[in-house]
Chain A
Amino acid sequence: MEEPANGIEVLGLVREYKKGPRAVDGIDITVAPGEIYGFLGPNGAGKSTTVHVLTTLLPPTSGTARVGGYDVVKEGPKVRSLIGVALQEAALDPLLTGRDHLRLQATLQGVRKDRRKVQADELLIRVGLEDAGDRKVSGYSGGMKRRLDLALALVHMPRILFLDEPTTGLDPQSRTALWEEVARLRREEGVTVFLTTQYLEEADVLADRVGIIDQGRIVAEGTPAELKAEIGRPSVHAIPRTDKDRPRIAEFLSRFGEPLATTRDVAVRLREGLGLTDIVRAVDANGVDIVDLELKAPSLDDVFLAKTGRTLEGAAEESEAEPTRRP
């Protein structure tokens, strides 16, 4: 089989830590050239470990991975020459300016001397840091650091970009700006993007295809639309007037579908053939007192719930209580 020039191919990848569980437990992934692949999962699911292996920072315990056609174990330097990486911790030097960072990165990546300054100026403009380029990074906000991190990943014009939770902790405005830049890179420059996230919306908006990882295994993979179609049926969410009404409303709604685990409202996944109007009629007929009733199309969280029996939010909380998997 011919290797995709900009693609990523992972077969049976395992990464085991000493005295620890398998952080990555036999995953297979294929990312086509020019595709944005969203790697979705809670904290500690194995996302960052996978990125560390694919970017040559960690050797796999077993399995194979090829990035841009090169084996990540045997051809590390060639892989590194093709990829741009923004790791989860935007490790920047607080004493250097944004421009210092870009100059350092460009030199280390072998960018020609006469191109370094131009490249730095262009990238600072592209990520909206042209006015802050000569300020020390210690004065940057979290969003500015993320944007500089992205600029650094792009210094040598990589064909494949790895972004490990690039928008964690960002305000909505910075998040949207970063999404637009990632989408532009793929659209205009044909860059392949491997993006890890724990935000459903991010995967939904950006990714052509999504792999959902939990406890080191991929539990679902496909386009967001395909994954949601697997779930098929929408859910109905009712907000009770008081907490003590919850059990009664839950019992009432259970006539229309299977209950869903939620914290803010009472919800059921509708049975085949039923719609919102059926429930509204029944609510009126039975005089059930609720504040609001909402029909929701299946989301990636529903896919995660269906595949793992937990919500993505709940899985993250579990993982925070027992953080054992991060590299």
Chain B
Amino acid sequence: MSSSWPQVGAIARRSVVRTARQPASFIPPIVFPIALMTVNAAGLQASTELPGFPTDSFLAFALAVPFIQGALFSTMNAGTDLARDIQTGFINRLSLTALRDWALLLGQISGVVVLGVVQAIFYLLVGIASGVHFESGPAGIAVLLVYAAIVSLAFGALGAWLAFRTGSGEAIQALFPVLFVFLFISSMNTPRDLIDVQWFQTAATLNPVSYMIELVRSLIIEGWNVQALALGFGFTIVIGVVSIALASRALRTRMTRT
């Protein structure tokens, strides 16, 4: 196995280099979530007046969203890139080398993780520059970055599964609105206990994305909330494990070499 680590590194490096060389694939995932957050923070500041709202800064409340939204964007880009490799035959080129299946998957996901952490650092800097105070302190910021890596890994594996399964970049792009629905029907703009519409509250409670956002949010505005951390890490790890299992299986089918 040790000889496969350079392969993992080479695939991850390619993934990062590819992204760095196409600004259209890394600028929107960074800029769009920040833009959305800025608009929301300006328009929904009044929400903080609601009784029971956990903070008096909507910006601090909303800063959690870009972390998850950015990871979703990256998932789509990573999946689309991988699907393009399948469509162009690049995957055949890789299949003809001594590359192991797991090294391809791990390398690909590692590339997504690197980009996910870079994105997270950018969101953090934007938050700090905007005057957001992190209640959990430097240790919380470290946990946040670790969590950003795990979210990117989970969503990266999901993107890889979709790519190996469909082999079509268009099919992956078509799933983008579905992922967005998950984001919007969550606690992204309002704490769950303050959602007045019953069906929305139920949907947000069943939606794992709510717990991902609440983990990040708890580190920013609450400090150390063990329940939020456990739920957030728990759901993300489950999604990651399931996605990796599905992606590994789809990869074996896709790389049909003997």
Contact = CB atoms under 8 A, between A and B. Distances in A.
B93 A91 contact: yes
B146 to A, nearest CB: 28
A96 B17 contact: yes
B88 interface: yes
A80 B88 contact: no
Interface in A91-121: 91-93, 95-96, 100, 103-105, 107-110, 113
B94 to A, nearest CB: 7
A95 B18 contact: yes
A110 to B, nearest CB: 5
Interface stretch (A52-60, A195-203, A210-218, A300-308): A52-60
Nearest to B87: A91
Given A57-B257, A81-B98, A108-B97, A87 B89 contact: yes
Interface stretch (B3-11, B171-179, B211-219): B3-11
Given A55-B96, A56-B258, A104 B88 contact: no
B92 interface: yes
Contact of A91 (B21, B92, B97, B256): B92
A76 interface: yes
Contacts of B96: 55-57, 80, 83, 85
A312 interface: no
B182 interface: no
A89 B97 CA distance: 16
A108 B94 contact: yes
A72 B258 CA distance: 7
A55 B89 CA distance: 14
B253 to A, nearest CB: 13
Interface in B106-125: none
Contacts of A95: 17-18, 21-22
A78 B6 CA distance: 20
Interface in B8-66: 9-11, 13-14, 17-18, 21-22
A108 B101 CA distance: 12
Contacts of B258: 56, 59, 72-74, 76
Nearest to A79: B258
B18 A93 contact: yes
Contact of B93 (A74, A100, A107, A152): A152
Contacts of A139: none
B199 to A, nearest CB: 45
A100 B98 CA distance: 18
B256 A77 contact: no
Interface in A221-269: none
A103 B6 CA distance: 11
A105 B22 CA distance: 22
A77 B93 contact: no
Nearest to A77: B98
Contact of A100 (B7, B17, B95, B256): B17
Nearest to B258: A76
Given A72-B258, A110-B3, A91 B89 contact: yes
A136 interface: yes
Interface string B225-258: 0000000000000000000000000000000111
A96 B97 contact: no
Interface residues of B, number: 27
A69 to B, nearest CB: 16
B99 interface: yes
A100 B20 CA distance: 14
Contacts of B200: none
B7 A89 contact: no
B184 interface: no
A87 B91 CA distance: 12
A113 to B, nearest CB: 7
Nearest to A52: B92
B15 to A, nearest CB: 11
A20 to B, nearest CB: 16
Nearest to A89: B89
B167 to A, nearest CB: 14
Nearest to B19: A95
Contacts of A57: 92, 95-96, 256-257
Contacts of B256: 57-59
B98 A80 contact: yes
B7 A91 contact: no
Nearest to B13: A104
B10 A110 contact: no
A150 to B, nearest CB: 13
A93 B90 contact: yes
Contacts of A107: 6-7, 9-10
Interface of B: 3, 6-7, 9-11, 13-14, 17-18, 21-22, 85, 88-90, 92-99, 256-258
Given A57-B92, A57-B257, A96-B17, 12 more contacts: A56-B257, A72-B258, A73-B258, A80-B96, A91-B92, A93-B18, A95-B21, A104-B11, A107-B6, A107-B7, A107-B10, A108-B99
11 contacts: A56-B258, A57-B256, A57-B257, A89-B89, A91-B93, A95-B18, A104-B10, A104-B11, A105-B93, A107-B10, A136-B21
Nearest 9 A-B pairs (CB), nearest first? A91-B89, A108-B97, A76-B258, A107-B10, A91-B90, A56-B258, A108-B99, A95-B21, A89-B89
